[in-house]
Amino acid sequence: MAQRFTEAFPLIVSIFALGGLIHPPLITWFNGPLITMGLGGIMLGMGLTLKVSDFIQVLHHPKWMLIGLSLQFLVMPLLGWSLAQLFQLPPLFSIGMILVSCCPGGTASNVIAYLAKAEVALSVSMTAFSTLAAVLMTPFLTLQLSGSYLDIPTEGLFFSTLKVVFMPVLLGILLNRFFPKIISQVIRFAPPLAVLLISMIVGSIVGQGKEVILDSGFRLFLSLITLHCLGFLIGFLISLALFKNWKIAKTISIEVGMQNSGLGVVLARENFSSPLVAIPAALSSLIHSLLGSFFVILFKNKN
């Protein structure tokens, strides 16, 4: 049952987003501290799936990790900035676009990697490493690329990332290390809980920004679709050219193309006064989930 719920992630997040558009009060009650705690719960769940040995295992194939992280924190941020310019997005949407493109991989990418029969261990490890790197990289890159729009609260972004990413993941790893028997009994509930929390975050932000999305969301939608499509494509082509391995190329492609949009939402809500900055991240979660589902259909049986 839990696995089926997890596999239905794209459908579930779409239902919540649609519900937020049709009747916002259904989901907009989930806001403020609840969104922050929701993302913390997702990160804790990811930490519970990790062991120190997972990180050591990745060291046997450092090139996979280095290329994946380079694409994650070079290609995607530059794409986010370039597309914001190309589509002439309003400043607040541009900042949100850049912010989400500077985020690490999220748990949704691990779900898609599993469904696409990619290298799940590499996917989880890349998500973990990019998440830890994001404590420094996300605030730094956002500042560098968004500084021309507004004053970016770098210190606030850093401490927010530390609070909602590093600490929950570290706690999860420690719990898994010292209480393995207990964790083994509850770990199967982590992926479906992550799906539910991500969907609630997306639905809430979409509901809160309903009017803006309906009035001026077309260019934003198009720019985000382009961002994630190019992320998948560039990640796949470069990885395949370098490693000549479809399974590894699929995995890196998924990690590059899918960002931790929930983190983007929380960072936007905690550090910018305007709720508009969070809208690109919320829509990004919906878009990359749907594109990820298409990716599964396209590449599931290709190894």
pTM of the model: 0.80
301 or 81: which carries more pLDDT confidence? Answer: 81
In this predicted model, what pLDDT tens digit does every residue of 47-76 receive, in sequence order? 787 777 766 766 777 888 889 899 999 999
CB 26 within 8 A of CB 20: yes
| Secondary structure (H, E, C), the chain | CHHHHHHCHHHHHHHHHHHHHHCHHHCCCCCCHHHHHHHHHHHHHHHHCCCHHHHHHHCCCHHHHHHHHHHHHHHHHHHHHHHHHHCCCCHHHHHHHHHHHCCCCCHHHHHHHHHCCCCHHHHHHHHHHHHHHHHHHHHHHHHHHHCCCCCCCHHHHHHHHHHHHHHHHHHHHHHHHHCHHHHHHHHHHHHHHHHHHHHHHHHHHHHHCHHHHHHHHHHHHHHHHHHHHHHHHHHHHHHHHHHCCHHHHHHHHHHHHCCCHHHHHHHHHHHCCCHHHHHHHHHHHHHHHHHHHHHHHHHCCCC
pLDDT at 71: 92
| pLDDT score of 153 more than 80 | no
CATH class of 2-13+27-299: mainly alpha
| pLDDT score of 174 more than 70 | yes
CA distances from 42 to 35, 62, 167, 209, 294 (A): 11, 26, 12, 23, 24
| pLDDT score of 42 more than 60 | yes
Place 18 in a pLDDT band, splitting at 50, 70 and 90: confident
* Residue ranges covered by each domain of the chain: 2-13+27-299
Q: Of the ranges 52-56, 123-127, 228-232, which is most confident?
A: 228-232
| pLDDT score of 235 more than 90 | yes
CA distances from 296 to 75, 232, 270, 282 (A): 22, 12, 34, 22
**What mean pLDDT comes out for the span 75-98?**
92
